[in-house]
A and B are shown apart, each in its own frame.
Chain A
């Protein structure tokens, strides 16, 4: 009872409702949920995933993801739905889409160019 009275005192300061206590997941579903939580950005926080956040928004999204998992949707389908609803920003890892080709291939191009430049420098010096 003491716990409860203290909690009431600080109600005004803390907002983090948790409502999915009663939803039970299998072990496999649970790890999938965790994986998706870590991949989904909390839209109202600063660079936090919903996994790390306790905001209302994050809790709603967690609930949504759990419902979708229980409904039998795959991770891919859930991610697509999230992107459709909230935009690409919501996923922590950028999609491998046309506009992101340079982001994904850039590192390899630079690594290769760097290697060529380095070898050319060495060869030029050895002339």
Chain B
């Protein structure tokens, strides 16, 4: 039997097993006639078959088995080992298989949790299996990774060089874990509604899953942004590109969701809202996938696109939505419990957080899809660039920062506004003074900048103070430490982004060897140009030295790489990270010219942007361990 057939058989087994398990949703008995169905066995079969076929696919890429179309299209025998492996999921078919693997992995882990309510557990697993069934069917019908090639060749076409990057090898899997993680959240919602179990205990079970997905989504978006920063060579890290937006939307919904789960757990209110957010978040994850795959949007990410595949995702989304909303319509009247909400209280703060996060979500949604709507109905093309998002999100961001400062310090149930304001007033004045001093002594700031920066700094200081106050035993694994870290991270993120956009400078030079390039207080000498050879590319490398009174402090080596499989030219940036600013050099060589185009960026606070994302992820990790401890 060929390896490809083995893969097909594994996926067919998975299809069958997930279908049988999914049937439990409409036929809730554990046996068909004399045949007993054990959900534990089925879940394990599903997971093992998915894992085995994914490993098999990696194996085919590793041995560069060009009997298979997918390997021919996406690999090359001379490719470095790590990219051979990453090539397995650097394409539509492989990434879909990875998607299914993650779906089944979450299902499997959920099976092993210590939740005692078997009825609930069975429904969650069955709904999750329904999703696995849908995607496996999609895989086998339209995107089979184990398809044999029709024309036997000895060599593959290679992987797009821009994707041959260590970060990009791990960025999609991490993002996928985040996206797919919200599938189990939706299954929780469906299972909970069927078994009438949307209560505080349900929220406590759900909480870690919401955070795990959030951690991976945050890290995935961060890694993608980091990759764009050094690989695309435009100096930016976020472009409001449709695909970036598509990952930001589930992030915003997911962030709103896990704050709400906290209220549900503490106060036993907002049941139906949590259900709606669960449905919304996973739908947005699916739409994110749909946007990437369909190629209907103009984006840097359209390396894997095909309209018919997009159509399947839409049909699938429609089925999921119909099932969940029908259930919701039936159960909604019995879901909500009433409880008094004081307008000055932590729960009101979280409600406001939801209001603002969802408003931001709407802005991103509108900006991403408006060009499509205008194109469809008015036959007109428009671009919605960064300016739109910055202008529209600014007022929401201001309010969000305010809420994030006062919300976490207020008490549950009831608090006094004067108490809250008093407790933050000192830190607010301190922040204002710092920003003012900065504005006077270093660089004049506009009013909006002063306001935003002050709020960011206040948020960071208040979160630090709050973290220390509520985490008296200095435990690393605690919900308050997690919350503080994530909030400090968010404040730092906005602060660094504003500082970065305000103070970044850049200059384009047309330079010849021995030229002296001057930007701000930095002097660079263009030393030389070499031809170098990499593993699977040829390169032209230029050398620049950063000078301080004729002594060389740093050396920069931007490159132009010429790949032959497939033939592509890429510009490799050279970045030196300093504590306060990145120095970023990228070059290209114009036709018929005796100079090279050199672009030098001085980008302040870049390291802090990455640090802020790490802080948010660490915050999530800190509270997840606390949650896991709690369930045990």
Contacts and interface: CB of A to CB of B under 8 A. Distances in A.
A17 B590 CA distance: 5
Interface size class of A (residues with CB under 8 A): 35 or more
A18 B382 CA distance: 28
Given A3-B512, A103-B388, A107-B362, A47 B239 contact: yes
Contacts of B380: 87-88, 99
A117 B354 CA distance: 11
A18 B381 contact: no
B560 A14 contact: yes
A13 B590 contact: no
Interface string A100-127: 1011101110110011011001100110
Interface in B503-544: 510, 512-513, 528-529, 531, 540
A54 B341 contact: no
Contacts of A67: none
- Among the interface residues A39, A46, A117, which one has the most CB atoms of the partner chain B within 10 A? A46
B8 interface: no
A106 B512 CA distance: 51
Interface in A66-98: 87-95
Contact of A106 (B236, B355, B362, B567): B362
Contact of A9 (B359, B395, B531): B531
A4 B594 contact: yes
A48 to B, nearest CB: 7
A110 B569 contact: no
Contacts of A48: 234
Interface string B578-599: 0000000000111111101100
Contacts of B138: none
A41 B351 contact: no
B363 A15 contact: no
A23 interface: no
B383 A90 contact: yes
B26 interface: no
Nearest to B387: A93
Contacts of A93: 383-385, 387-388
A46 B339 CA distance: 51
Contacts of B343: 122
B590 A14 contact: yes
Contacts of A110: 359, 362-363
Contacts of A6: 529, 531, 540
Nearest to B354: A118
Contacts of A54: 588, 590, 597
Contacts of A17: 590-593
Contacts of B592: 11, 17
Contacts of A115: 355
A103 B385 contact: no
B541 to A, nearest CB: 10
B562 A10 contact: yes
Interface stretch (B47-55, B195-203, B296-304, B464-472): B296-304
B382 A94 contact: yes
B531 A87 contact: no
Given A3-B529, A11-B591, A114-B358, A126 B569 contact: no
B588 A16 contact: yes
Given A93-B387, A118-B355, A88 B234 contact: no
Interface string B186-224: 000000000000000000000000000000000000000
Contacts of A15: 591
A7 interface: yes
A87 to B, nearest CB: 6
Contacts of A94: 370, 382-384, 388
B447 interface: no
A19 to B, nearest CB: 9
Interface in B333-379: 338-341, 343, 348, 351-352, 354-356, 358-359, 362-363, 366-367, 370, 374, 378
Given A6-B529, A88-B380, A122-B341, A106 B366 contact: yes
Contacts of B385: 39, 41, 49, 91-93
Contacts of B338: 125
Contacts of A10: 540, 560, 562, 569, 589
6 contacts: A13-B567, A16-B588, A18-B593, A106-B363, A110-B363, A118-B351
Given A41-B383, A46-B302, A89-B383, 11 more contacts: A13-B567, A14-B590, A39-B385, A47-B239, A47-B241, A47-B299, A103-B388, A106-B366, A107-B363, A114-B356, A114-B359
What are the 9 tightest A-B residue pairs by CB atom distance, in nearest-first order? A92-B385, A89-B381, A93-B387, A107-B392, A52-B234, A114-B355, A13-B569, A110-B362, A18-B590
Interface of A: 2-4, 6-7, 9-11, 13-18, 21, 39, 41, 46-49, 52, 54, 87-95, 99-100, 102-104, 106-108, 110-111, 114-115, 117-118, 121-122, 125-126
